[in-house]
Structure 1
Amino acid sequence: MDLEDEPDKWDGTQVKRIEFDHGFKIVAFEYVKIGNYKPTLYRVIEPGFMTLYAYDESYWTPNHPVGNGLMSGSYRATTTSYYIKRDDKEFLCSVPRNKNAWKKRLINCFEDCPEIMETINSKNVTDYEIEDLVWNFNEYCGGVKN
C-alpha cells in the first residue's frame, strides 16, 4: 500500500482487534458491540475475563469572553470515558465521571468478588485505581479468558 492509495474502511464486522506497535508498547483497540448498536472501537486498557476499555473523545472549545472585552482562544480538549466488559455478561458497564455515582456502579460491576467489594466499600476509588480493580478481579475472581 502506498500513501497515494485510497484508504481502506473497516468496521466491527470485518475486524475484531487492531494493534499498534510503538516499539516499547503495544496499544490495542477492539470493536465492542452493545445491544442493537453497531460495534464501536474502544482502547484496551486491561484485558482479561473482565476487560477495561477507554473511549477517548477530542473536541474544540469555543472562544468565550474572559473580561475587559477580551476573548480566550479555542483549544482542543480530550475526555476519556471508561467501560468494563465481562465475558459472562452482554452489557458494558460504564464508569461514570460523576464521583458520587462511582460506588453504586462499581458495586454492580464487581458484586460477585468479595475482595474487590471490600476495597470499594472501604475507601473512595479514583479513576487511577480502576485499572488495578480490574486487574485484581481477573487475577483473583474472574477466571481465565480464552
Structure 2
Amino acid sequence: MTDTPDPSAAGDGPPPEPSGAASPTYRHEGPAVSAIVYYVLLVTRRRRPLFEDAAVKARAEELVVASAEGAGLGVRFVDVAPATVTVHVEAPPTMSPHEVVRAIRQPTASALKAEFEAVRRAHSVFVRRYLVTTMPVPEMDGAAFERSVPKR
C-alpha cells in the first residue's frame, strides 16, 4: 500500500476548511492560513479604577475595538472592568503578541488621556506588564496577575 501525499501539505491544494462546530475560523493572508487568537489582559497603573465611570468604560471599549481593527486584528471579545481590560483578538501570523498588545494599548491610552481629565491626571493608563496567552485565561489566573501589579 502506498501513501498518497496530501496536496495541501505541499501548499498546492486548497486551504483547510472548517470541519465542524469546533473548528476555528481561518485567516487567509498571502501564503499563510492561520487561526491565531490572543487573549490579552491589561491592568491600569496602580490598579486604579479608571473605568468605573460609565462614559470612560464605554469609550475605552470603543477605542480598543477601533485600535485592534485599525491594526488588522479581528476582535472577538472585549471586557472593560474598573481596573482591567480583557481582549480576545484574532491576529495574523506576522504579528507577534507584543505587537498586538502595543497596537491596542498605545492608541487606546492616548485617546483616553486626551478625552478624559481624570484619566489624564493618572499619567499612565496601563502598566507596562501584560498577560497574553493563546488559550483562554482562567479567571483565577487573571485575578492573580492583576494582584501582582503593585498599587504603590
TM-score where L is the length of structure 1: 0.26
Structure holding more helix per residue: 2
What is the TM-score with the length of structure 2 in the denominator?
0.25
**Which of 1 and 2 has higher RCO (CA within 8 Å, sep 6+)?**
2
